[in-house]
Amino acid sequence: MAHLAFDDIHRVLVDPREIQRDGPTFTVDTLAELKVEYPNALFYLFVGQDQAQAFTTWHHWQAILDIATLVVAQRPDGGSAPNPADTAQWHNGVSAKVQTLDMPVMNVSATDIRSRISQADFEPTSLPDPVLRYIKQHRLYQTHTDDRNHS
């Protein structure tokens, strides 16, 4: 689906290493590999506000911040939630490695899209058409028992 969404965008590369790895795969491992391949590159990890607030639960999250800057896309429903860069978990100068993405706030998240697609009558307009067609063709994220019996 990443290929369907991004292959037509100039200078964007969909890297397959995480799906080619055996066993569990972690963001820190991918970033470490990329840093070896591109030692002079600056790395930015873009996440939604929900993931940023859970970031300290990620595998070796401190090492991620040694390699990349965390860039947080705000959510409209996150207005009452604290900015992760301002909370106690980002103490001791770590906040310099956390930035807020300056963009229009969008009321969309991958978790929400998957949840809403499981409702048979919902078609998210926030997905590129090829991605939505793929999801429908392969009956992804369906939770109804009659949907799970089809291949």
| pLDDT score for 99 | 85
Asked whether the whole model's pTM tops 0.75, one would answer no
Going by pLDDT thresholds of 50, 70 and 90, the confidence category of residue 121 is low
| pLDDT score for 61 | 93
Task: Say yes or no: 82 and 143 in one domain.
Answer: no
Task: Say yes or no: 45 and 119 in one domain.
Answer: no
Contacts of 12 (CB under 8 A, 6+ apart): 6
Task: Say yes or no: 58 and 77 in one domain.
Answer: yes
Task: Say yes or no: 16 and 45 in one domain.
Answer: yes
Task: Say yes or no: 93 and 121 in one domain.
Answer: no
Domain around 67: 2-105
pLDDT digits (tens, 9 = 90+) for 62-117: 999 999 999 988 766 554 444 544 544 443 444 568 888 877 766 667 777 777 77
CB 69 within 8 A of CB 42: yes
Kindly tell me the sign of the dihedral angle through the C-alpha atoms of 7, 10, 12, 13. Answer: positive
| pLDDT score for 15 | 92
Task: Say yes or no: 98 and 119 in one domain.
Answer: no
Task: Say yes or no: 122 and 101 in one domain.
Answer: no
Q: How many domains does the chain have?
A: 2
Half-sphere exposure of 18 (CA within 13 A, CB side): 12
